[in-house]
Each structure stands twice: as C-alpha cells, then as structure tokens.
Amino acid sequence: MKGQQWYQEDDIAQEYEEKRFSKGGRLIDRREKQAVLDAVGPVEEKDVLEIACGTGRFTVMLAERGADVVGLDISGPMLQQGRTKAQRAGVDDHLEFMRSDAARLPFPDDSFDTVMAMRFFHLADQPASFLSEMRRVSREQVFFDTFNRFTTRSIYNWALPMGSRLYSRWEISRLLDSAGLELARDDHDFAFPYGLYRQIPNELASTLREIDTTLIRSPLGKRLASVSYWDARVDAQ
C-alpha cells in the first residue's frame, strides 16, 4: 500500500480529520457520508465491515443508525481515534475496531451483509486481490469509491508527493468481473479535485460546489467526475 508508514504515524492520526475535513473539506465529508448511506440503505441490524476505517467517520455514523459494525485498519493510532469517537457517541457496544491487513481479512466467508471501503483503492497496490477479499467475506454487497483517470484529478495527482492510483470505468468493470461482483449502481461527482476544496473557506467552497454540481449534472457529467462510487452485489453464481 502506498504511504503505509506515513499513514501510521501518531501525529497523522491526530490531525487527519482537521486537515481533510475542515474549511471546504466539510462539503466532501457530507457528500461521502451521503454516498455511503445511499448505497447501504436501511442499516439497522445489518452486519457491516469497513476496510481502512481510519478514524471511524463512517463506522460511527453507521453504528449510530443501528448497524453492527467492524472497522478494520492497519494504523493503531487511527483506530484509537475511532474508539474514542465511538465512546463519545455512545455506540461502542455496536462497533468493534480491529488492526489487520486488508489483503488477508481475518473473517470466514460470507461474514457480513455489506463490506465497504472509502478512500482506499487509490492507495491499493493490488486492487484485484483486495476486492476479491472483500467479496469473499460479503454475503450481499460491496461498496467502494475510486479516483478517476482523464479528469482534473490527473492534474492534482501529478502534484501529490505520493500520487494516487486512478481508474477508468473499463478497469472497474474488469475488477468487478474478476471478483464475481455485479454492478448494481454507480454514482459520480466532483469535477474539481478534493484538494481545491480543502484550501478555501467554507463559504467560497459552497459557491464552488454549486458550479461543480452544475457541471456534474450536465451531459458530460460522468466524464468530468473525478470521484466515483461503486455499489456492487455478490454474484450468486
């Protein structure tokens, strides 16, 4: 995984959300959470696994809505942030955090209704293997997001010290087929890259977001979108 050592530093965990989801980044946070809720649907009493759960943004949100959630991450400091957040929200009885490698998930086949990963596949060095593991432990649904080729993300990606793995729709189709997954629904957003939102005040970001949304709703919207959300179902065959 790209940036694995950097990601596990104590100070990174402490500053993670402040750096990414303050200022205009709040709009990103809201959009990503809505994407998860739209995909997972009614979550009460569902068994959900989140790969690379980080500080528990999504795990805590789902537990608050009645899901039984396991959050898995490779970073001990990130998991500790998540545990603290879960305790403060009063949902630690519905939520378990585990430190483990996503390449070898420590669960039997068909353990969860939904297996999801956000902000994960852009760092994956072996995406096919990771997706295959996610499908193995899922009874029904696999949900994840990607950053896309041939969009403004490509320009932003060039300036990043670590870079990100970018995907075309053809690559996603191939990955889903190889994992035995069928695409049920896809959604696409953010003509402007995430990094731009994080650098500007919330008020200015709201104006930018209006322009962004208009572009995404245009006939060229899917081609402009730098982020895609993929909602797949386990192939019964």
Tens digits of pLDDT across the chain (237 residues): 544 444 444 444 455 555 566 567 788 899 999 999 999 999 999 999 999 999 999 999 999 999 999 999 998 988 999 999 999 999 999 999 999 988 899 999 999 999 999 999 988 889 999 999 999 999 999 999 999 887 776 666 655 555 678 999 999 999 999 999 999 999 999 998 887 888 888 889 899 999 999 999 999 898 899 999 999 999 755
Give the separation between CA 191 and CA 223, rounded to whole angstroms. 9
Gap between the terminal Cα atoms of the chain: 31
Q: What does the pLDDT read at residue 65?
A: 96
Number of H-type helices and E-type strands within the chain = 11, 8
DSSP secondary structure code for residue 75 in this structure = -
- Residue 159: the pLDDT is 55
* Look-up of token digits 């670590």: 162
- Domain-embedded: residue 219: yes
Spatial distance between the Cα atoms of 6 and 13, rounded to a whole number of angstroms: 10
Quick check: is 156 in a domain? yes
DSSP label at 196? H
What does the pLDDT read at residue 20? 62
Structure tokens given for 1: 């995984």
Residues 6+ apart with CB under 8 A from 187: 35, 38, 228, 229, 231
Classify residue 96: in a domain, yes or no: yes
Its pTM stands at: 0.89
Residue 178 resides in a domain: yes
45: left (phi over 0), alpha (psi -120 to 50) or beta: left
8 Å CB contact between 73 and 54? yes
pLDDT for res 222: 86
Any domain includes 237: no
- In this prediction, residue 2 carries a pLDDT of 47
Burial class (CB in 10 A: 0-12, 13-18, 19+), 178: middle
CATH code of residue 27: 3.40.50.150
- Look at residues 106, 56, 62 and name the one whose alpha carbon lies nearest to residue 79: 56
Structure-token pair, residue 18 = 């402040």
| pLDDT score of 232 | 98
Where in the sequence is the domain holding 228, given as residue range(s)? 4-232
Let me know if residue 193 belongs to a domain: yes
Contact 232, 184 (CB under 8 A): yes
CA distance linking residue 60 with residue 75, whole number of Å: 17
- Beta-carbon contacts of residue 157 (< 8 Å; ≥ 6 apart): 147, 163, 164, 166
Domain count for the chain: 1
